[in-house]
Amino acid sequence: MRFAPKGFKTFNDVSNLKNLLIEQKKQFQCEIDFYLLEVKTIYAKKGETKYKSIADIGIFNKNSNFISNITIRQLYKIEICKKEEKPPRTFGFKLFPGENTTLRAILLCNNQIKYHKDIKSEIYQELYKTMILQGYLVGIREYGKLSLQIDKFIKDLENKKIEPKTILNIGVGVASKEGRSGDIKIYHELKSESEINGEENTSEEFSPRLCINAVRKGDLLFEYIKPISGNIGRDLKGEILPIKQIVTNTPKIDSTIRLREDTQIIKYQAGKDGFFKEVAPLSFSIVDELDMNQPKEGGAKTLNMSGSTHSNSKITTDIAYIDSHRGSIKANVVVIDVLEKGVVEAKVAYINNTLGGTIIADYIYIKEVRSYNEIYPRYSLIVDNIVGEHNTFELNPTKFAFSRRDRVEYVMLSDQIRIRLRHLKKLMDEVYSYLLASQGKTHKIKQDNKDEKLPKNLQSIVDQYDKSLERYQQYLEEYREIANLYYTNEVRLKNIDEAALKTKMIIRGDISEAETIVKFKIYNGNREELLKSVLSKEAPAKLLEVIKDGDFYRLKSEDSYDPNYLQWIEKLKPPKPD
């Protein structure tokens, strides 16, 4: 809205009206007042200092525009006059903000107020002046019926039915709406190891928690109530109304748990029989047994078991000392006196005697290998004596301890990455060609119009160039990340393919009459090769290893070995607890 000038001194683009009035009061040594002539609305993106004008403030009637990431200000064109030069006031306004960013005003008038043809303009003048002096934006998100409310007041005034107080609805901003963080509702009691043992847990570190009662396949374990995003707001002073940041608290599960999802809740059910466990913060699984894989203050969890384990036992720990083992164990280091038809998966395994055992480990030391054993080392196998039959020593990449993926998955991942890289390269080339062709034109437009607002047709050219540049940078960043992933994957794949080159199998003592099969599986490009040898009393060997001869691999048998190959036996063996 614009107001007619009164003929006093004019000030343009005033941003701090209160300071200007104070300065003028000091200069003239008297009370100062002003008339509002015009309001100009400007905005700037957050973090920028260059403001642009807005021709139509009606765009802020849309909530998303009003709460967008911008700063909104107003500049005023005013006339300054001495207070004594203005006619006496017969009415005024008192503002009071309400709930949800609403703003109302009480129009207060005395018995001197009279109807005249310019009364509506004077009402708007006084209302806007009051709003400006109290820091409100004027004209923005104003009630469409404000003019009708004022018309009704004027009609009552004309008919001499005026009330001393009249309430006007001025406008409303956008109220903020708080979001809701994600929440997990667990239907089973989970306890840490110390709680199960009746001990007080004083450590602040996370300790895995377990439900000691078995669950059945299909049982409801827990529900995840999805988070709800909130919305920031903005009041009629142009101030952003912030909201609290929500936390997703998203649970993680493995293949032992299945889920059913709807719009607001995800229900998680047991995918098999077993024990419900929180293995890490907000990470859940169904385990087969009450395992021992809890970290303990002061070092790794150590299992020291005298006697024999059951054939159905499943043990998970860091370090294990076992007299006689028949079940299954996973550990970083295992020391077993007698392995009888048991399964061992470890980083390092020390076995005195094994019969019908399966051993998968990076480093394996066995004093006596009896019959029907399958032994899968990754780096080193050292055997003192072979005294039985039907034994197999094999380097097999599918039998590496704690392997997360098999070779086929790495190969498939490499193929997928190559396809994505080719596609990204094509997209980057297309965008780069456009940028190269448009760079000069866009630069000239910006230079020729750097102090002026660009026309729509030129602005669209600049915007298209900027968007393309941003898209190219995004493609480039993605290309770098995927290329790094490809390199990492290729290194891992090469380590699998050429694992046999790093493996040493050493037999230090006697070999029985019966044959022992030795195998090394290698991948040469896309071709799988299996190198085999047979150990027996008639064909003994102290060292077996694979060497690369040009483009070919061959299995080499030696009657001697480097003593340094044995150093890990003492170096990696942990001290036995008392």
Q: Quick count: other Cβ atoms within 10 Å of Cβ 246?
A: 15
Tell me whether strands 314-316 and 32-45 are parallel, antiparallel or unpaired. Answer: unpaired
CB 396 within 8 A of CB 505: no
Cα separation values, 209 from 92, 218, 258, 453, Å: 68, 21, 19, 63
Please report the pLDDT score of residue 298 as a whole number: 38
pLDDT band at 410; cut points 50, 70, 90: confident
Long-range contacts, 434-441 (Cβ 8 Å, 24+): 434/468, 435/465, 435/468, 435/469, 435/472, 438/464, 438/465, 438/468, 439/465
Give the residue from 521, 523, 462 showing the smallest Cα distance to 490: 523
Q: Is the pLDDT of residue 58 over 50?
A: yes
Hey, is 519 helix, strand or coil? strand
Q: How far apart are CA 562 and CA 506, in angstroms?
A: 10
Please report the pLDDT score of residue 370 as a whole number: 94
Q: Is the pLDDT of residue 273 over 50?
A: yes
CB 354 within 8 A of CB 339: yes
Hey, is 264 helix, strand or coil? coil
Beta-sheet strand order (sheet of 91-97): 91-97, 102-109, 165-172
pLDDT in tens, 540-554: 889 999 998 888 889
Please report the pLDDT score of residue 300 as a whole number: 54
End-to-end Cα, the chain, rounded Å: 91
Please report the pLDDT score of residue 201 as a whole number: 63
Q: How far apart are CA 486 and CA 12, in angstroms?
A: 62
Residues 6 or more apart whose CB falls under 8 angstroms from that of 215 comprise 188, 221, 270, 273, 274, 275, 276, 286
Q: Is the pLDDT of residue 526 over 80?
A: no
User: What percent of the chain has a predicted confidence (pLDDT) above 70?
Assistant: 95
Hey, is 131 helix, strand or coil? helix
∠ at Cα 294 (290, 300), nearest 5°? 130
Q: Is the pLDDT of residue 524 over 60?
A: yes
The DSSP code for 551 is: T
Q: Is the pLDDT of residue 494 over 60?
A: yes
Q: Which of 62-71, 297-306, 318-327 has the lowest mean pLDDT?
A: 297-306
CB 329 within 8 A of CB 348: no
Dihedral sign of CA atoms 197, 200, 202, 204 in order: positive
Q: Is the pLDDT of residue 71 over 90?
A: yes
Phi, psi dihedrals of residue 20, rounded to the nearest 5°: -65, -45
pLDDT in tens, 3-47: 888 889 999 999 999 999 999 999 888 999 999 999 999 999 988
Dihedral sign of CA atoms 260, 261, 262, 266 in order: positive
The DSSP code for 12 is: E
Which helix (H) or strand (E) segment holds residue 463: the answer is helix 456-497
Hey, is 316 helix, strand or coil? strand
Please report the pLDDT score of residue 346 as a whole number: 93
The whole-number average pLDDT for the span 358-373 is 95
Please report the pLDDT score of residue 299 as a whole number: 46
Q: What is the mean pLDDT of the chain?
A: 88
Please report the pLDDT score of residue 198 as a whole number: 56
Q: Is the pLDDT of residue 55 over 90?
A: no
Q: Is the pLDDT of residue 86 over 80?
A: yes
